[in-house]
Chain A
Amino acid sequence: MNRTASIMKMHWRDRWIWIYTPWMILLFSFAVNLIIGFLAGGQENIYTGGILSIFVWIFVCTLIIQGQTFPFALGMNIRRTDYFVGTIVMGLLVSAGSAVILFLLSIMEKMTDSWGVNLYFFNIPFMNHISPLARFGIYFVVMVHVFFLGFIISSIYRRYRKTGMTVFFLALFLISSIVSMALTYYSLWGDLFSWIAHHYMELFIWLAPLSIIYALLSYVLLRRATVS
């Protein structure tokens, strides 16, 4: 049997972590907001940001899942390559599935006139100006990006253990400190925010190649990772 498929089957056993739990959290948050909307009688617009929970979950879930399944799979004499391919296909499928459902829910939100109570749960304010297809693309690309971000951080740990994590976070801390100091010194914060406000669509597009870079780096790291 194809061992990539075996890896996907292995992940499918964790579908509670991959799929059910984040959706339960998201839908619970939605239900609470809907009730609040009804109680408020739709007097005010409700912007919740509750949709973010599913993206945060995928990030954390990837961090945890790789730590548990990579040593297990290698111990079962699986190739690192098969683990990598099986896991990212699973990640892409879950991201695509979630993006489709989010998209359908966002369409329902539009059709029901924000659930009749002015609740903007699945449509984040800036999305009013973009095409439905772009909305789907944003859900998908952000989710995929978050997945690969979790995956590469986990891969750095698999390859270089604590040293890798220390170096990574020190570097991250130094770079962000230097950048923010520079922005403050040259008083560029305002420019930065206005640039983002005008170019956020481009930022979303750039998440795609960034995700591919994460994936390639993760592959290189995992190929040299060991378990004991």
Chain B
Amino acid sequence: MNTVIEVHRLNKTYGKDTVVNDVSFVVEQDKIYGLLGRNGAGKTTIMHMITAQLFPTSGELKVFGENPYENNRVLRRMCFIKESQKYPESFRIIDVMEVAASIYPNWDKDFAEQLIQEFRLPVKRRMKKLSRGMLSSVGVVIGLASRAPLTIFDEPYLGLDAVARNLFYERLIEDYAEHPRTVILSTHLIDEVSNILEHVFVIDNGKILIDEEADDLRGKAYTAVGSSANVSAFAADKKIIQQESVGGLMSATVLGHLENSARRQAEAQGIELAPVSLQQLIIHLTNGKTNGKVAEIG
């Protein structure tokens, strides 16, 4: 596998605030990555550093094997769509598209036009008159039509309705199948994207909590539901990250692989086992109370 991004002990501090804390990870070619985490976790800062729009305080950062700073060999091959993108006041959607077409080497004009129609974008309208959702759609169109070998979407769907978000996921997967590339999606709508992600990074308070293949991560935890007595007994020797009791019923979320013996035990005691969604798992892992246990997951 070719490595696209290599980050080693990256730090970003503003005065006394540490926004990104000793982060290391590797991104491989032609996979879809999820960069998940709460607001202010440091996701956007990391992506700004990968694209050389912000400077790291310390640490090593290589994109396509080189330092991205002022490096067209790297910058030409990436497209970073961010929620905070600014546009010149006078620009209409069409102006932005034409500038994008002249900047991105792999730009597909027909695809862009198709997407503009599908997202129902008024091409003659000025950017500053667009709603939040339309602004996001413009970003999505640029991100998809630029077909950059490294495409990064930072919260691409603020203000987008469910139909538009679905359209985005569909077009992303279709186009990814035809034109494989490395995609990084940063979001907090974890459940919606969980089935298109191949690899997941979870970041909290500037640190990487999880760096796992999505499939492995899904098998990391499960929920057991049944009568209180049975579930308590079942979970007694296991690591519980959350439990709830309602009446005589109890549900416990257990961290760890589901062994066959445990499965048989559960069946015998009438305990129902269910997979935990990525979102629930990540909520458990990042809500502070369980922070101490997080280190043990890997």
Provide the bound-state CA to CA distance between A201 and B91, in Å.
Answer: 41
- Give how many A-B residue pairs fall within 8 Å (CB-CB): 79
Kindly specify which of B71-79, B181-189, B231-239, B257-265 makes contact with the partner chain: B71-79
Q: Does the CB pair A13–B55 fall under 8 Å?
A: no
> With A1-B102, A13-B95, A14-B90 in contact, is A75–B55 under 8 Å at CB?
no
A72 lies within 8 A of chain B by Cβ: yes
Q: Which of B86, B102, B105, B148 contacts A68 (CB 8 A)?
A: B86
Tell me the bound Cα distance from A228 to B85 in angstroms: 8
CA–CA, A223 and B84, complex, Å: 21
A75 x B54 contact (CB < 8 A)? no
Are B99 and A6 touching (Cβ within 8 A)?
yes
Nearest Cβ on chain A to B115's Cβ, whole angstroms: 17
Could you say which of A69, A77, A223 contacts B88, with CB atoms under 8 Å apart? A69
A:48-94 near B, CB below 8 Å: 65, 68-69, 71-72, 74-82
CB distance from B250 to the nearest CB of A (A): 46
Select which of A14, A74, A81 is within 8 A of B53 by beta carbon. Answer: A74
Within 8 A of B (CB), among A1-46: 1, 3, 5-6, 9-10, 13-14, 16-17
A87 → chain B, closest Cβ, in Å? 12
Number of interface residues of B (CB under 8 A): 31
Q: Is the pair A6, B86 in contact by a Cβ cutoff of 8 Å?
A: no
A166 surroundings in chain B (CB, below 8 A):
none
Name the B residues within 8 Å of A223 (CB-CB).
70
Contacts A71-B86, A72-B85; A226 near B54 (Cβ below 8 A): yes
B82 touches A75 (CB 8 A): yes
- Cβ of B64 < 8 Å from any Cβ of A? no
Measured CB to CB, the closest approach of chain A to B60, in angstroms, equals 19
Bound together, the chains give a CA A125 to CA B54 distance in angstroms of 51
B100 within 8 A of A: yes
Within the assembled complex, what's the spacing in Å between the Cα atoms of A6 and B78?
Answer: 16
Interface flag for A130 (CB, 8 Å) = no
Whether A203 is near chain B, meaning CB under 8 Å from some CB there, is no
Q: In the complex, what residues of A have CB within 8 A of residue B173's CB?
A: none
Point out residues on B near A: beta carbons under 8 Å.
Answer: 44, 48, 51, 53-55, 70-72, 75-76, 78-80, 82, 84-91, 95, 98-100, 102-103, 105, 148
| 23 intermolecular pairs with C-beta atoms under 8 Å apart | A3-B76, A6-B99, A9-B99, A10-B99, A10-B102, A13-B90, A13-B98, A13-B99, A14-B88, A16-B90, A72-B85, A72-B88, A75-B80, A75-B85, A77-B76, A77-B148, A81-B70, A82-B72, A224-B55, A226-B48, A227-B48, A228-B44, A228-B48
